[in-house]
């Protein structure tokens, strides 16, 4: 029987000392906060994304703060790139305790403007890439299960649960497109499927569904309209998502698998 880490052995119950994490979309708006949380908890974090210069600058920033971080250029739509990244982690770290599937390309667009190829691209980025990473990293996750409780966290969206409200947007062109929510909903079902099938290997799979986390420079009118729809009366900040990730990645959630944790201020509760 695989035994989870004993949280009582850790001074910090959410400590990830000695653990290794991989985060895709690491240099993005939410990705940065997710990486910072994992690194601050003691994990060695591999920062994955397409732009090597941004990743290295972010890695330097984390290292300057006393954390362990490595830039890892990765195209999640390329099997060859995924296999290469996993080989790098195996060579340099030998295990993988936390895999965060967070790759995302922000797009907007009217419902009727969506094309077939948009749905294919979104599904490939959200679901197929997550599966390719999980299967490629499986030996490293299984190695981590020998003395821990490895965690896969898929970053979905509130729009994988409910539809965007067109009234929140000033024009059709600014709306959240239908292929985004469809792909994120598929990622939630993949999460449940993977959780059940990997449980016997000691690997947990969960999802986070962020609500409104507007990037700096977002349209204030849009932020105000979204805030008015959120029961807590405001939008979220990236660190509020990061703490939810830390729970799912930590020894405090070793009996949690197959769940979707909304972090949306109550948006999907009504």
pLDDT, tens digit, for every residue of 39-55?
999 999 999 999 999 99
Residue 125 in any domain: the answer is yes
What global pTM score does this model have?
0.94
Whether 6 is covered by a domain: the verdict is no
Number of alpha carbons in the 13 Å side-chain half-sphere of residue 218: 21
Task: Identify whether the C-beta of residue 37 lies closer than 8 Å to the C-beta of residue 238.
Answer: no
- Write the pLDDT tens digit of every residue in 108-138: 999 999 999 999 999 999 999 999 999 999 9
CA distances from 242 to 4, 29, 50, 208 (A): 22, 12, 22, 10
Q: Per residue in 191-226, pLDDT tens?
A: 999 999 999 999 999 999 999 999 999 999 999 999
Within a domain: residue 135?
A: yes
User: Containing domain of residue 226, as a range?
Assistant: 15-261
Domain of 43, CATH number, reads 3.40.50.720
Whether residue 268 is contained in a domain is answered as no
Residue 175 in any domain: the answer is yes
Whether residue 2 is contained in a domain is answered as no
Overall domain count for the chain? 1
Residue 270 lies inside a defined structural domain of this protein = no
Query: Would you name the residues annotated as active-site residues?
Result: 180
Asked if the structure places residue 8 within a domain, the reply is no
Q: Where are the alpha helices (DSSP H) in 155-269?
A: 178-198, 220-229, 238-249
């Amino acid at each position: 029987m695989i035994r989870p880490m004993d949280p009582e052995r850790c001074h910090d119950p959410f400590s990830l000392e000695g653990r290794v994490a991989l985060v895709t979309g690491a240099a993005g708006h939410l990705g940065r906060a997710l990486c910072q949380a994992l690194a601050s908890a003691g994990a060695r974090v591999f920062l994955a994304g397409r732009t090597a210069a941004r990743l290295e600058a972010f890695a330097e920033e984390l290292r300057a703060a006393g954390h362990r971080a490595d830039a890892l250029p990765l195209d999640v739509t390329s099997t060859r790139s995924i296999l290469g990244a996993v080989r790098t982690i195996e060579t340099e770290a030998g295990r993988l305790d936390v895999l965060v599937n967070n790759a995302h390309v922000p797009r907007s667009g009217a419902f009727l403007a969506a094309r077939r190829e948009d749905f294919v691209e979104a599904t490939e980025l959200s679901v197929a890439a997550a599966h390719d990473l999980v299967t490629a990293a499986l030996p490293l996750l299984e190695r981590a299960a020998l003395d821990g409780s490895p965690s896969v966290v898929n970053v979905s969206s509130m729009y994988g649960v409910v539809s965007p409200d067109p009234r929140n947007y000033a024009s059709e062109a600014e709306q959240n497109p239908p292929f985004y929510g469809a792909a994120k909903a598929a990622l939630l079902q993949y999460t449940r499927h993977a959780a059940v099938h990997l449980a016997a290997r000691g690997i947990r799979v969960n999802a986070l569904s962020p609500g409104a986390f507007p990037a700096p420079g977002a349209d204030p009118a849009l932020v105000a309209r979204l805030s008015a729809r959120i029961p807590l009366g405001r939008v979220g900040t990236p660190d509020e998502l990061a703490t939810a990730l830390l729970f799912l990645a930590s020894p405090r959630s070793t009996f949690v698998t197959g769940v979707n944790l909304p972090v949306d201020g109550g948006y999907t509760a009504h």
